[in-house]
Amino acid sequence: MKLITKFILIYLIVTVIVLGLGGVVSYHVIKGELDNELKWRFLDRVERVTYLLEQGENFESTVQDNSDTNLEIMALPNRVEPDVEIRDTLVWHNRLHQREHNLKMVAHRNVDGTSYRITTYGALVESDDITEAVIEILLWILGLQVIGAVGVGFIVSNRLFKPFRKTLKRIKNFTLQDKEPIPAESTSVTEFDDLNKFVEEMTSKAVSDYVNLKEFAENASHELQTPLSIIKGKLELLTETELSPEQYQFVEDSQRSVKKLSRLSESLALLTKIENHEFVKTEAINFSEIITESTKAFDEFIALNGLEVESHIQDEITLQMHPVLADILWTNLFQNAIKHNVKEGRIHIELTEKKLKIANTGQPLSSSPDELFQRFKKDSVDSNSIGLGLSIIKRIVDQYHYNISYDFYNGWHTIVITFKTD
């Protein structure tokens, strides 16, 4: 839900509550004013009757004249003190067929030594009429409030929030690869100015951190490779000298460690580049050709391990990927299937326009499958494994919004990458 829509809904809810309370207050205020007006009329009526009695007008014990049917005059047998009593009463309404609230006044007056009780009642305006009038007014006000709220919301959404939407669009288009922070633009709203300044400071820091991290990763990788190459060369020279079997074994172990350290440095640098989205350009990659040619390149290694490869590859399967990442994706998958296979094991490859499936025979995992794609999580006891191959695969798959899954069943490890979900 948009912010302006939520604001309008809250505004209308508050308006309905306020109007409801205002309606109740208005009803009682209007009714009070009308009752006061009615009291003055009743008093005027009592004074008029009293005047007529003083002038000798003869009323019967109960009098109902033609013009005033709510008047009752009664001579009392005993003398009482003059007073006036006003109270609410219920009177049957012939038209509505129900009892209605009326105001009733009972006054006692003494005329020529005789006490009279003068009673009159009525309503200046009926309660239902007041209620209907108040509801009608409130509905008009509510209707105008709805029109005003929607109008204000439209204006606010299109004009007031324009700088906010512009800033949001610039944030969406912001990429670290451009190495350009988002400059703050001045607006007429203080809060938007503060937001733009914060965005400028945040993106400047992000760009600075990105550049520093990238330089560190590149420098570290480069500076590591140089001494490693020197060590590797020295060890090769050392193998050409006369060494005891024990010394030769030490040199071989050192060479394996150097190679592993070199691959670890290269893999970490590659992983950092993928996570920094440095491979953003894509092109149509013939994945069928990549798999076919790469599999042939491993023929010697496959034969050496006595593996059997079975493939079902559809022709001309193309994916929109960076060519380097496409090659790394398949090479890591295939090397993983070879490395973690058993002697004289099998590899099954299947490629369609919807998915890539690669399965290999092997021992079951000793660790949780959920940790398989995490960094340095390896199930193999092979000391040459650096534990980053599947992490790199996962990062590539995530970059192109593919899905990847792993399953082990009946002695087969199966990894499926789904290109299309439909």
Ordered DSSP codes for 165-225: HHHHHHHHT--GGGT--------S-HHHHHHHHHHHHHHHHHHHHHHHHHHHHHHHHHHHH
Q: Residue 25 has what DSSP assignment?
A: H
pLDDT in the model for residue 65: 45
pLDDT in the model for residue 348: 94
Residue-wise pLDDT for 26-57, tens only, equals 988 988 888 888 888 889 988 988 898 888 87
Rg (CA), the chain: 47
pLDDT in the model for residue 386: 55
pLDDT in the model for residue 346: 92
Distances (CA, A) of 358 to 216, 323, 364, 411, 416: 36, 20, 16, 14, 7
* C-alpha torsion 96→98→104→106, nearest 10: 120
Q: Which residues touch 220 (CB under 8 Å, ≥6 apart)? A: 265, 269
* Below-50 pLDDT ranges, the chain: 61-68
Q: Which two tokens stand for residue 187?
A: 């607006």
Single out the residue of 367, 317, 307 nearest to residue 337, CA to CA.
307
Q: Residue 335 has what DSSP assignment?
A: H
pLDDT in the model for residue 66: 45
Single out the residue of 259, 310, 267, 292 nearest to residue 396, CA to CA.
267
| Amino acid letter, residue 71 | L
Q: Which two tokens stand for residue 227?
A: 């001494």
Q: Which two tokens stand for residue 125?
A: 């305006």
pLDDT in the model for residue 67: 45
| Contact in structure between 329 and 393 (CB atoms under 8 Å) | yes
| Contact in structure between 71 and 59 (CB atoms under 8 Å) | no
pLDDT in the model for residue 69: 60
| Contact in structure between 178 and 171 (CB atoms under 8 Å) | no
| Amino acid letter, residue 27 | Y
Q: Residue 402 has what DSSP assignment?
A: -
C-alpha 172: how far from chain center: 16
pLDDT in the model for residue 60: 60
Single out the residue of 338, 205, 328, 352 nearest to residue 278, CA to CA.
328
pLDDT in the model for residue 200: 93
